[in-house]
Amino acid sequence: MRLSSAATTEELVIVVDEARIDAAVATRFKDSMRRLIGGHRKPVIIDMQAVDFLDSSGLGAMIAVRKAMGEDRPLILRGLTPNVERVFRLTRMDSVFDIRPTDPPEEQTS
Amino acid sequence: MTSTRRQNADTKGRIAARTQPMFNRVLPAHPAAVRDTLGDIRRRFAAEVGEDTLARLELVLAEVMNNVTEHGAGISVEDDPRRAPSIHISIVRHVSGLCCAITDDGASLPDDCLQPRCLPSLTQPELPEGGWGWYLIQDLTQALCYFREDQRNYLAFSVPFSEEARPL
C-alpha cells in the first residue's frame, strides 16, 4: 500500500499513491490509514489525485477511517478524480465527507 | 488485441459498423482475477465506448464480481482458494448500451439484493461500512434481472451510454 504522509504544524497530509482502492486492497488500505492517522491528533487531508478507481469496498474503507477518527477531528478529501467523485456522489457520501476541489492552487490555501 | 483489429479492419467501414464488440471470459471469483478482468474489459471497449460509460461499466462489474468473490463461496475464499466460485461474464454492445450477463456457481443471491434500495441514514456514528454495492448496481444499470437455475446464478443488465458521449 503506497501511502506517504507529511505532518505540518497544522495538519497531517496523506497522499494515496495507488491507482485503485478496490476489494483487492481495501482492508490493507484501511489498516494502513488507521496506523498513519492514529499517531497524530491533527486534522487530516487525504490527497486522492492518483486514485482512478474506487469501489464500494474502498468507500467502506474510507468510512471506517472517518469513523475511527471521531466526529470532532476534521478529515478533508482532496483531488478526487471523476470516477472516485461519482461513488461519493451516488452514495451521498459527498455530504458526509469534506470534499475539496481538485488541486487547489497554493496561494488559495488559507 | 488482434481480434479487435480484425473486427475494425474494414476500410470501407461497412462491416466494422455492423460488428458489435464483445467480451467473454471465465474467471475464478478472486479479487486479483476480477481486477485483471476489469482492466481487459476496459481495453476491449476503449476504442468504441466513451470514458464515462466505461467507468460506469467498470464500477458495476466490480461490484457484481466482488459480491461473488466475497459471498459466493459461503466461506472466506482466502481460507481455500480452490473453493472460489467460477464466474462467466459476457458483454455485448447494443444500440443503447452495453448488455452484460454474469453467471456464477456460487451461493444463491439473497432475495433482498434486488429489492429497490434506499440509502441508509447518513448520521455519522452509525454509517455502515458495507452494503453500498447493490445500491450502486441498481443506480447504474437498466433492466436488471436475476434468476437461479440449477447451481448457477444468472444476472443480466444493461449499462446505458451517456447522452453526451454517443458511441462511434
CB < 8 Å to B62, chain A: 22-23, 53, 55
Q: Which residue in A56, A86, A96 is closest to B133 by CB distance?
A: A56
Beta strands in chain B (DSSP E): 22-28, 86-93, 97-104, 142-149, 152-160
Give Rg (Cα) of chain B: 17
* Cell 473486427 found at: B7
Task: Output the CA torsion A81→A60→B130→A1 (10° steps).
Answer: 110
Chain B interface, mutation test: which of A55, A59, A75, A91, most B Cβ atoms within 10 Å?
Answer: A55
* CA pair distance A32, A26, nearest whole angstrom: 10
CA distance B59 to chain A (A): 6
**Residue B121: all three cell numbers together:** 441514514
Tally the residues of chain B.
Answer: 168
Contact A64 B129 (CB under 8 A): yes
Q: Is B133 part of the contact surface with chain A (CB cutoff 8 Å)?
A: yes
Q: What are phi and psi of B72, to 5 degrees?
A: -65, -35
Q: Distance between CA A94 and CA A14 in Å, rounded?
A: 19
**ipTM of predicted complex:** 0.89
Integer Cα distance of B22 and B147 in angstroms: 23
Substitution target from A27, A57, A92 for chain B, most B beta carbons within 10 A: A57
Q: Which of A28, A56, A72 to mutate to test the interface with B (most CBs of B within 10 A)?
A: A56
Contact B65, B37 (CB under 8 A): yes
Q: Look at residue B5 and tell me whether its pLDDT is greater than 60.
A: no
CATH code for the part of the protein at B21-160 = 3.30.565.10
Average pLDDT taken over every residue of chain B: 83
C-alpha span between A105 and A103 (Å, rounded)? 6
For the record, the C-alpha cell of B149 comes out as 437455475
pLDDT tens for each residue of A39-73: 788 999 999 999 999 999 999 999 999 999 988 89
Q: Do A5 and A36 touch, CB atoms closer than 8 A?
A: yes
Q: Which domains does chain A have, with CATH numbers?
A: 3-104 (3.30.750.24)
Confidence of residue B1 (pLDDT cuts 50, 70, 90): very low
**Tens of pLDDT, residues B12-65:** 445 445 557 899 999 999 999 999 999 999 999 999 899 999 999 999 999 999
